[in-house]
């Protein structure tokens, strides 16, 4: 593409966005060339992206709360756009979209604006007037956006339902590399149990880790869990971990692969989810997935084949699903999940579809 260049930016990346960028950036470096790709990310989360020769990383101070951080991101993107005049600014997450897009419009940025919410704000619990306000803001900002990347069919249909221009809504299902990262030692292990359950992600209300604690208590000693991650948003999701669980903290991609190899299944008790990329990582590793029937998760997990879908916000149903499975059933579902991953969720397809979108 010659002089083509792109700036990715996000107000926070811990979790799914970090995985998305880790998988995508090497392919974009290969496609667009050294120096063509820049990422603007929080300084405290720099460690979430490995150093990649040829990709420029710009950081901003993210110590000022979500609104302050989003404004700091907008200033950092402004400076980078002024310096490099990229062909595309690709914005990740709703807070980033709400601050960066107005600035780009005000500055009459001449390149292409691509926005991916990674889960619409209106899918979260909120009052009716807030939901109407959020949808109005998204419709307004869509006017100054060239393309909106929807990571699941649910996300695209929801946007159409809230009045966004369907011609601007591009469905690009998430994906990851076909090959798994190399495994690394990890200093945690499951207590003796019939079923080994793994949770990976933010200990925030969205991810339902509080529901998992309740479900593990109900499931009893025949189930044990390792929880990898920690709180990011401090949004009041109280966590009471029962005796049949332990907390591993944040782990590296290699350590995560070791946990995948040790576990029988991944659990995702999310209250809302645009896609659920960690489910695809687990499927790549041959793990069954037990997840809430919300958002894009209902498209990722094939109920009864590659895992089990349960009603959201329901600890009793989650506990029942965990108790119902044997390690052998999980192994069979994991094999089906690996095949589904290979058919639908490989990152080379994501890279090609985004490149076409940029053009």
> What is the predicted pLDDT for the residue at 189?
82
Does residue 56 sit in the same domain as residue 173?
yes
Does residue 132 sit in the same domain as residue 203?
no
Residue 106 has pLDDT above 70, yes or no: yes
Residue 34 has pLDDT above 80, yes or no: yes
Each as own residue / partner, the long-range contacts of residues 19-24 (CB below 8 Å, 24 or more positions apart, any chain) are 19/176, 19/277, 19/278, 19/281, 20/92, 20/118, 20/174, 20/277, 21/49, 21/92, 22/48, 22/49, 22/50, 22/253, 23/175, 23/176, 23/177, 23/347, 23/350, 24/347, 24/350, 24/351, 24/354
Burial (0-12, 13-18, 19+ Cβ within 10 Å), 125? exposed
Cβ-based neighbour number of residue 127 at 10 Å: 8
> What is the predicted pLDDT for the residue at 2?
46
Residue 282 lies in a domain: yes
> What is the predicted pLDDT for the residue at 236?
54
Does residue 119 sit in the same domain as residue 234?
no
Sheet containing 288-292: order of strands: 245-249, 223-230, 195-202, 265-268, 288-292, 307-310
Determine contact, residues 119/295, Cβ cutoff 8 Å.
Answer: yes
Residue 219 lies in a domain: yes
Give me the domain span that covers residue 45: 6-177+346-358
Residue 113 lies in a domain: yes
> What is the predicted pLDDT for the residue at 1?
40
Of 56, 45, 113, which is closest to residue 83 (Cα–Cα)? 56
What gap in Å lies between CA 255 and CA 332, rounded to an integer?
24
Residue with tokens 């695809």: 280
Does residue 337 sit in the same domain as residue 239?
yes
What percent of the chain has a predicted confidence (pLDDT) above 90? 82
Residue 313 has pLDDT above 90, yes or no: yes
| Helix runs in 182-222, H state only | 209-219
Give the CA distances from residue 289 to residues 19, 199, 214, 346, in Å, rounded to whole numbers and listed in that order: 18, 10, 18, 18
> What is the predicted pLDDT for the residue at 237?
56
Strands (E) across 208-302 are located at 223-230, 245-249, 265-268, 288-292
Residue 96 lies in a domain: yes
pLDDT digits (tens, 9 = 90+) for 168-182: 999 999 999 999 999
Q: Confidence band (pLDDT; 50, 70, 90) for 238?
A: low
Residue 1 lies in a domain: no
Residue 182 lies in a domain: no
pLDDT digits (tens, 9 = 90+) for 187-237: 888 877 889 999 999 888 889 999 999 999 999 999 999 999 887 766 655
> pTM of the prediction?
0.86
Residue 328 has pLDDT above 90, yes or no: yes
Does residue 32 sit in the same domain as residue 162?
yes
Does residue 10 sit in the same domain as residue 146?
yes
Residue 183 lies in a domain: no
Q: What is the mean pLDDT of residues 335-339?
A: 98
H/E segment holding residue 29: helix 16-32
pLDDT digits (tens, 9 = 90+) for 51-66: 899 999 999 999 988 8
| Cβ-based neighbours of 176, under 8 Å, separated by 6 or more | 19, 23, 277, 280, 281, 284, 345, 346, 347
> What is the predicted pLDDT for the residue at 66?
83
Does residue 351 sit in the same domain as residue 234?
no
Does residue 146 sit in the same domain as residue 293?
no
Q: What is the mean pLDDT of residues 30-45?
A: 96
Determine contact, residues 7/84, Cβ cutoff 8 Å.
Answer: yes
pLDDT digits (tens, 9 = 90+) for 110-156: 999 999 999 899 988 889 999 999 999 999 999 999 999 999 999 99
Does residue 353 sit in the same domain as residue 338?
no
Nearest-5° Cα angle at 64, 61 to 65: 120
Does residue 353 sit in the same domain as residue 293?
no
Q: Is 100 helix (H, G, I), strand (E, B) or coil?
A: helix
What gap in Å lies between CA 249 and CA 244, rounded to an integer?
16
Query: Could you tell me the CATH number of the domain that includes residue 300?
Result: 3.40.50.2000
Q: Is 252 helix (H, G, I), strand (E, B) or coil?
A: coil
Does residue 94 sit in the same domain as residue 204?
no
Number of domains present in the structure of the chain: 2
> What is the predicted pLDDT for the residue at 234?
64
Of 258, 214, 207, 213, which is closest to residue 231 (Cα–Cα)? 207
pLDDT digits (tens, 9 = 90+) for 265-302: 999 999 999 898 999 999 999 999 999 999 899 999 99
> What is the predicted pLDDT for the residue at 231?
78
Strand partners, 58: 40
Residue 190 lies in a domain: no
Strands (E) across 203-328 are located at 223-230, 245-249, 265-268, 288-292, 307-310
Does residue 257 sit in the same domain as residue 305?
yes
Round the average pLDDT of the chain to a whole number and report it: 93
> What is the predicted pLDDT for the residue at 31?
94
């Amino acid at each position: 593409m010659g002089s083509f260049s792109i700036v990715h930016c996000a107000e926070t990346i811990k979790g799914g966005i970090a995985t998305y960028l880790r998988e995508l950036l090497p392919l974009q470096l290969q496609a667009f060339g050294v120096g063509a790709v820049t990422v603007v990310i929080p300084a405290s989360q720099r460690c979430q992206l490995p150093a990649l020769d040829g990709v420029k990383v710009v950081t901003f101070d993210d110590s000022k709360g979500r609104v302050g951080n989003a404004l700091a991101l907008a200033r950092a993107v402004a400076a980078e756009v002024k310096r490099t005049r990229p062909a595309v600014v690709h914005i990740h997450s709703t807070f980033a979209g709400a601050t960066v897009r107005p600035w780009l419009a005000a500055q009459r940025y001449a390149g292409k604006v691509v926005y991916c919410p990674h889960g619409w704000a209106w899918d979260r619990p909120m009052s009716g007037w807030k939901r109407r306000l959020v949808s109005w803001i998204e419709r307004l900002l869509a006017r100054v956006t060239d393309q909106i990347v929807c990571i699941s069919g649910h996300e695209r249909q929801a946007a159409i339902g809230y009045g966004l221009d369907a011609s601007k809504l591009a469905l690009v299902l998430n994906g990851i590399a076909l090959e798994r990262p190399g495994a690394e030692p990890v200093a945690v292990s499951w207590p003796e149990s019939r079923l080994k359950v793994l949770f990976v992600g933010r200990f925030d209300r969205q991810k339902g880790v509080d529901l998992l604690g309740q479900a593990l208590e109900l499931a009893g000693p025949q189930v044990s869990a390792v929880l990898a991650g920690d709180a990011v948003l401090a949004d009041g999701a109280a966590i009471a971990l029962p005796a049949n669980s332990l907390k591993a903290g944040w782990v590296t991609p290699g350590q995560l692969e070791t946990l995948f190899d040790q576990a029988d299944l991944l659990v995702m008790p999310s209250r809302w989810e645009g896609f659920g990329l960690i489910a695809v990582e687990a499927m790549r590793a041959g793990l069954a997935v037990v997840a809430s029937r919300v958002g894009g998760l209902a498209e990722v997990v094939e109920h009864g084949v590659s895992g089990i879908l349960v009603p959201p916000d329901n600890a009793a149903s989650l506990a029942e699903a965990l108790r119902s499975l044997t390690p052998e059933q999980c192994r069979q579902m994991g094999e089906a999940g690996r095949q589904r991953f290979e058919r639908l969720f490989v990152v080379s397809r994501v890279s090609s579809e985004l490149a076409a979108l940029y053009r």
